[in-house]
Chain A
């Protein structure tokens, strides 16, 4: 039973993390290659607070706020540069985060933070908390998608200049997307820290950013269902198949490349194309 709980927990955390990137990259069209940095910020903040005696549920709030605040700063970058340059700026943010954390003794330096306390009710408690956070975030995503906010995001994603012409405050909505998305990543990070119960700078490096990007891309940029399915499968595949664990980066890298090269809309794009072929005369 505990094995299933572990798998379900990492699955829920991965879905939350991937959907938080999907909100920025999919909904609003702003690419982030440093999303793991916000995951890391949430993880460090939550870990430090629970070690100081806070409960995790409470510690998740400052984790989200800190990650969201830094996310707003990085979001300002998206007002200056676009597309591939935003991608390498956010990539730089990711490297900067790891480079700074590595040198901070207060954060454990290279070694990181270990023996992070377990949550109330142990592993099942963490699973419950992770699933609640995931469910809330999914509901938030669906709500945003259907609201005026989602419409504004989509118009920015399609064509920023046209959106501006129609009177949409592009800067405001871009920043909002970054704040919501990075705060979501902060919560995911806080949960992750208490799931693994050990964190170090290398847990939040470029590889993690690419991994979460792989989930979004393979699932289909912008699709809630597609990204959730891809995150669930890609996060648990290494646990089930030793082969996948050994060649994790080869598989993730190839998946990213092949998806971009042959099916830029990911799983959801393929499914939609098949559906339409089947149902059109």
Chain B
């Protein structure tokens, strides 16, 4: 029973990691920028979700509205923060992004308070019986279903729409894509919108699971998501998804079996360092 419980815990956590890391890998694939401030959008999405529900909105409205708002803010970050840094070394954008992220956390603390926010009446808390004697809260099921749904939508968008083709062309060769008439700026805007919206979705999901949103809730995911996209082989969406799920499950078991030597949050970084040293091109990429 503990085994199933841990596996499900890992799966749910992995789905959340996947939603956050996807936005990061989309940005990296397109701009070669490690977008740490992405996690600030995840936190913001969680705040929007709680505020909208507490103001009387339905949870579905909260999710959609939060995703749209945060998506637009994501575009704003691209235009204000990254666009002027594109011709500089990638390190400059990375450090700027860390600065932006730390400042954003502090702004949340000032605006929303240091002690966090909760739902006044948390939605989706009913227990659903999956099979006899095994219950799971609706919010956890919801996390898995929504993650699968949105990642599938994203896959379909990339594979079979004009925008998706333009996006893939820009990732593989921006100059060539531009010469074929692809509006690169538009592709980048859509990219940031989708990535940020997925982060907001992850934020609302975590708010549902833990019923608490704190200013610093993005701190650990921010750096862990970096570890995930490196493990997934940088720029590979499939690799990122696998790495997210694997890390979720490893952490869930590791906390029980290795918790006395290593902090839970350090596990990801131990893996990150090992992988970067042995296979700098990532675990899943063959070269």
B266 touching A99, Cβ below 8 Å: yes
Interface hits, A223-258 → B, CB 8 Å? 247, 249-250, 252-258
Question: Given contacts A100-B266, A247-B110, A261-B84, are A85 and B230 in contact (CB under 8 A)?
Answer: yes
Which residues of B have CB within 8 Å of A259? 99
Tell me, rounded to whole Å, the shortest Cβ–Cβ distance linking A222 to chain B. Answer: 14
Contact A260 B95 (CB under 8 A): yes
User: How far apart are B107's CB and chain A's nearest CB, in angstroms?
Assistant: 7
* Alpha-carbon gap, A88 to B104, bound state (A): 20
**Chain B residue nearest to A79 in the complex (CB):** B277
Residue numbers in B under 8 Å from A278 (CB-CB)? none
**B230 in contact with A88 (CB, 8 Å):** yes
- In the assembly, what is the distance between CA of A139 and CA of B205, in Å? 54
Assess whether A95 is in contact with B92, with CB atoms less than 8 Å apart. no
B96→A92 contact, CB < 8 A:
no
Q: Scoring B residues 75 to 89 as 1 if CB is less than 8 Å from chain A, else 0, what string do you get? A: 000000100110011
Tell me whether A87 and B266 are in contact (CB under 8 A): no
Q: Contact string, A97-108, partner B, CB cutoff 8 A, digits 1/0?
A: 011101100000
Contacts of B270 in A (CB 8 A): 92, 96
A47 proximal to B (CB < 8 A): no
Q: Does B207 sit within 8 A of A, measured CB to CB? A: no
Main secondary structure of the interface of A (DSSP, over half): helix
Main secondary structure on chain B at its contact with chain A? helix
**Which residue of chain A is the closest to B263 with respect to CB atoms?**
A99
With contacts A84-B34, A89-B272, A96-B273 taken as known, whether A253 is within 8 angstroms of B227 at the C-beta atoms is no
At the interface, yes or no: B39 with Cβ under 8 Å from chain A? Answer: no
| Count of A-B residue pairs with CB < 8 Å | 132
Are A249 and B105 closer than 8 Å at their CB atoms? yes
Distance between Cα atoms of A235 and B46 in the complex (Å): 34
Q: Is the CB of B99 within 8 A of A85?
A: no
CB distance from A213 to the nearest CB of B (A): 7
Near B by CB (< 8 A), chain A positions 91-129 give: 91-93, 95-96, 98-100, 102-103
Given A88-B226, A96-B266: A264 in contact with B88 (beta carbons within 8 A)? yes
Closest CB in chain A relative to B81 CB, distance in Å:
7
B266 cross-chain contacts in A, Cβ below 8 A: 95-96, 98-100
Query: Whole-angstrom distance between the alpha carbons of A261 and B90 in the complex?
Result: 12
Contact across chains for B263 and A98 when beta carbons are under 8 A apart: yes
A43 within 8 A of B: no
List of B residues within 8 angstroms of A131 by Cβ: none
B73 at the interface (CB under 8 A from A): no
* A100 contacts B103, C-beta separation under 8 Å: no
Report the bound CA distance from A95 to B265 in whole Å: 8
Specify which chain B residues have a CB less than 8 angstroms from the CB of A89 in the assembled complex.
Answer: 272-273, 276-277
B32 → chain A closest CB, angstroms: 8
CA of A227 to CA of B261, assembled, Å: 37
| Interchain nearest-CB distance for A217 vs B (Å) | 7
The answer to whether B103 and A257 have CB atoms under 8 Å apart is yes
Cβ of B262 < 8 Å from any Cβ of A?
yes
Whole-angstrom distance between the alpha carbons of A160 and B88 in the complex? Answer: 17
With A92-B273, A95-B223 given, is the CB distance from A260 to B104 under 8 Å? no
A-B contact pairs, 28 of them (CB 8 A): A31-B95, A80-B276, A84-B34, A84-B90, A84-B94, A87-B34, A87-B94, A87-B95, A88-B272, A88-B276, A89-B276, A92-B223, A92-B227, A95-B223, A96-B266, A96-B269, A99-B265, A103-B261, A210-B102, A217-B95, A252-B102, A253-B101, A254-B99, A257-B99, A260-B92, A260-B95, A261-B81, A264-B88
New contact pairs (10) apart from A77-B276, A81-B276, A88-B226, CB-CB < 8 Å:
A33-B98, A81-B280, A89-B273, A96-B270, A249-B102, A250-B103, A253-B99, A253-B101, A261-B81, A264-B88
A interface residue numbers (CB < 8 A to B): 31, 33, 77, 80-81, 83-85, 87-89, 91-93, 95-96, 98-100, 102-103, 206-207, 210, 213-214, 217, 247, 249-250, 252-261, 264
The 6 closest A-B pairs by CB, nearest first: A99-B266, A256-B99, A253-B103, A253-B102, A257-B99, A99-B263
Please list the residues of chain B having a beta carbon within 8 angstroms of any beta carbon in chain A: 34, 81, 84-85, 88-96, 98-107, 110, 219, 223, 226-227, 230, 259-263, 265-267, 269-270, 272-273, 276-277, 280
